[in-house]
Amino acid sequence: MPPVLELRGITKSFPGVLANDHINLTLEEGEVHALLGENGAGKTTLMNILYGLYSPDEGEIFVRGRRVEIRGPGDAIALGIGMVHQHFMLVPVLTVTENVMLGVESIKNGVFLDRAAAARRIREISRQYGLHVDPDALVKTLPVGVQQRVEIIKLLYRQADILILDEPTAVLTPQEVEELFKVIRSLAAQGKSVIFITHKLKEVMAIADRITVLRNGRVVGTTTPSQTTEEQLASMMVGREVLLRVNKKPATPGETVLEVENLEVLDDRGNPAVRGVSFEVRAGEVLGIAGVQGNGQTELVQALTGLRHPLAGRVRILGTEVTGAPPRHILERGVAHVPEDRQQDGLVLSFPVADNLVLNTYYLPPFARAGTLQQEVIFTVAEQRAREFDIRTPSILTPVANLSGGNQQKVIVAREFSRPIRLLIASQPTRGLDVGSIEYIHQRIIAKRDEGCAVLLVSPELDEVMSLSDRIAVMYEGRIMDILPADQATREEIGLLMAGVKRNR
């Protein structure tokens, strides 16, 4: 029997870039095939070709042994190819059923939407593949993990049997990832074929039947989880040896830099998000805050950086009270902030790299004198920072929007780490980044710690918190469940605390 899908010699170039260079790939029925590669390795380009969004310069595509031309998503869907994009394509104010029906509405009596029939089919699909979802719920009320299930149901409703999942775990909590994996296994067991695009090694090892690694637009190799290790995959991806664990010396904590006392913060809707949190961070140590996303970490960081007014409690930095102070006042105390959402909060995407590198220091000498910007200085410094922090950009005048995610994050890191800082507040500093960039940013954070900087690290990625932190605080429903020394904490114990369970020691 021919493979469900076969790509032969797919080549696609953009001006200046060979995005795909003679790529061969086969997908068998009932297989989970992981496509692994760093950002910019050509994964997304390849999938967009398969989905008909780009046409290849060279190469052929075979579906079930038959040569096909895919001229648009319509062709792809007709061939049974469906794709779940990284950013969901759902209408928030419609129900699950309405979203699923959109574009393939079932009609009764010639005019009316037959919601009931569609809902029935959705329930069937849900049951068959373990995709639990309420067809009548409004999409905007659903957690991200469930919205993703709706996207998958949309594909199955359209009778897709080749499912492309583009970075499906980037937005999920660890529990949701587990749920998704169950679904994928059930899909594969019932004969669906899945292409799973990711750059996360652990996930590949857990879910894939076969793994194809891309680098610089070429296939580096195809392997299976039993024949390889995470280290091998990482070096295939990056093209060199990669440190998966952070090497660091024991911390030597000094004076207290950040003191938080009984802090209470409300969220946007006026509900308590942080409920009486107290902790301190000392110079030369990393305090990690673990916890499933949405347990008050975002609001905590906003309160500490002056972006959200706390309801009660105190924040002191180096002994000075800064509770409720404006952001600039806090930044000027020597606080660096790597925000959770780099595109929304960290960068002005339409501004050039150079301007983003001085986004919070543009008004200080030497960048400004008597209110006028010193552009030559800004450009010179930007060129140096770009070199020092290895920011890959055609020019420092390129809008930062045109950079890859990893390089955008490096712009933020370069900006924040080049100021004289005493406290670093890093919120999900490696979210959505590839292995090489993660390694780099982790090393930079530890180097800051060793320089005597206090570091507050907030991340839902348990691995990250555990490998970087000296002490780990676990947040659950706005409270800190416990603060543990990192060398004594176990994954299991932290996992329980993240779920709100506190054991007596």
- Kindly state whether residue 350 participates in binding other proteins, applying the rule CB under 8 A: yes
- What does the alpha-carbon distance between residue 254 and residue 283 come to, in Å, rounded to a whole number? 5
Can you spell out the DSSP letters for 243-300? -SS---PPP---SEEEEEEEEEEE-TTS-EEEEEEEEEEETT-EEEEE--TTSSHHHH
Shortest reach from residue 93's CB to other proteins, in Å: 16
Q: Pick the closer one to other proteins by CB: 117 or 311.
A: 311
Stretch that binds other proteins, among 58-66, 135-143, 342-350, 459-467 (CB under 8 A): 342-350
Applying CB under 8 A, does 348 fall inside the site for other proteins? yes
| Site membership for other proteins, residue 93 (CB under 8 A) | no
Residue 331 binding other proteins, by CB under 8 A:
yes
Which one, 115 or 333, has the nearer CB to other proteins? 333
Does residue 351 interact with other proteins by CB under 8 A?
Answer: yes
Residue from the set 245, 371, 487, 503 that interacts with other proteins by CB under 8 A: 371
Measured distance CA(228)–CA(183) in Å, rounded: 24
Q: How far is CA 53 from the centre of its chain?
A: 24
- Binding of residue 15 to other proteins (CB under 8 A): yes
> Does 252 participate in binding other proteins (rule CB under 8 A)?
no
Of the ranges 62-70, 119-127, 256-264, 327-335, which one interacts with other proteins (CB under 8 A)? 327-335
Binding mask 440-469 for other proteins (x = CB under 8 A): ------------------------------
What value, to the nearest 5°, has the Cα angle with vertex 459 and ends 465 and 361? Answer: 110
Q: Which of 172/423 has CB closer to other proteins?
A: 423
| 383 lines the binding site for other proteins (CB under 8 A) | yes
Nearer to other proteins, 58 or 388 (CB): 388
State which residue, 57 or 383, has the beta carbon closest to other proteins. Answer: 383
* Shortest separation between residue 388's beta carbon and other proteins, angstroms: 6
Q: Which residue, 250 or 420, has its beta carbon nearer to other proteins?
A: 420
Among 373, 466, 483, 496, binds other proteins (CB under 8 A): 373
Q: How far is CA 159 from CA 152, 206, 254, 344, 442, in A?
A: 11, 26, 61, 36, 43
The token pair at 287 is: 């305090």
Nearer to other proteins, 163 or 357 (CB): 357
Binder to other proteins among 138, 311, 359, 483 (CB under 8 A)?
A: 359
DSSP result, 89-146: ---TTSBHHHHHHTTS--EETTTEE-HHHHHHHHHHHHHHHT----TTSBGGGS-HHH
Between the two ends of the chain, the Cα-to-Cα distance in Å is: 58
Q: Which two tokens stand for residue 47?
A: 């999938």
The number of beta carbons lying within 10 Å of the beta carbon of residue 338 is 25
Residue from 227, 247, 420, 504 in contact with other proteins (CB under 8 A): 420
Q: Given the complex with other proteins, which of 26 and 443 has the nearer CB atom?
A: 443
Q: How far is the C-alpha of 162 from the C-alpha of 311, rounded, in Å? A: 51
Residues forming beta bridges with residue 471, ordered by sequence position? 287, 485
Choice between 106 and 443, CB closer to other proteins: 443
Stretch that binds other proteins, among 174-182, 221-229, 269-277, 337-345 (CB under 8 A): 337-345
Contact between residue 470 and residue 286 where contact means Cβ atoms under 8 Å apart: yes
Total chain residues near other proteins (CB under 8 A) = 42
For residues 336 and 229, give the distance between their C-alpha atoms in angstroms, rounded to a whole number.
36
Q: Which is nearer to other proteins, 261 or 345 (CB)?
A: 345
Q: Please name every residue paired with 426 in a beta bridge, in sequence order, or none if there are none.
A: 338, 457
Q: Is residue 401 a contact residue for other proteins (CB under 8 A)?
A: yes
Among 328, 392, 491, 502, binds other proteins (CB under 8 A): 328
SS3 assignment, position 162: strand
The rounded distance, in Å, linking the Cα atoms of 455 and 12 is: 44
3-state percent breakdown (helix, strand, coil) of the chain, nearest 5: 35, 25, 40
- 72, 186, 79: which is closest to 127 by C-alpha? 186
Residue 302 CB, nearest approach to other proteins (Å) = 9
Residues that bind other proteins (CB under 8 A): 15, 305, 307, 326-328, 331-332, 337, 339, 344-351, 355, 359-360, 362-363, 365-366, 368, 371-373, 375, 377, 380-381, 383-384, 387-388, 399, 401-402, 418, 420
